[in-house]
Amino acid sequence: MTEGAYGLIFLDRKLGRIRKVYRRRQDADQAHCSAVFESERQAFELAARVPEISALVPLYFGQSEAGRIIDRDGKDVTGEVYPCLSFEAEYLPGTFEKIGTIDASERQRVMSLFFSADIKHMTDASVRIANGVVDKVIDFAVREIELEAQPLC
């Protein structure tokens, strides 16, 4: 299991899949988290329609409601997540780095390809490099969902 800004990622090595389950955040309500989830889900669907992009992204197995969530320590963390905001995708082994750290011309090539398919949020994307070029991309979305400032009291 690993953790991102919005989700907990669970790996099933036997099936070769990950399950991303969006977690509850103190700084964001469920509507915001749902919008972020929907932006990511839509991006996977758009990517699947373009062969040049679908070759770069994990296979998307769709939305899948999570049941009871148990962390690596055996603790039930179901109350810390939104089970209905969950999807499964192909597990991609290897080392990933943020897209902003790679060669500028390769970054531009990949971003232009995604932008042409209306996948406009690439700021958080991570990439795997093989033979000097991006061969896989993760953490992309149709658009960025701005987190509005919440009152502290």
The token pair that represents 120 in the structure block: 């406009």
Q: Residue 26 pLDDT more than 50?
A: yes
Average pLDDT over residues 51-80: 90
Q: Residue 141 pLDDT more than 50?
A: yes
Q: How confident is the model at residue 149 (pLDDT cuts 50, 70, 90)?
A: low
User: Which among 24, 4, 6, 20 is positioned nearest to 80, based on CA atoms?
Assistant: 24
Q: How confident is the model at residue 77 (pLDDT cuts 50, 70, 90)?
A: confident
Average pLDDT over residues 79-89: 93
Model-wide pTM > 0.75? yes
User: Rounded to an integer, what distance in angstroms lies between the CA atom of residue 129 and that of residue 94?
Assistant: 9
What pLDDT digit, counting tens, does each position of 85-133 carry?
999 999 999 999 999 999 999 999 999 999 999 999 999 899 999 999 9
Q: Output the pLDDT for position 113.
A: 97
Question: Sign of torsion, CA 32 37 42 43?
Answer: positive
Q: Residue 134 pLDDT more than 70?
A: yes
Q: How confident is the model at residue 150 (pLDDT cuts 50, 70, 90)?
A: low
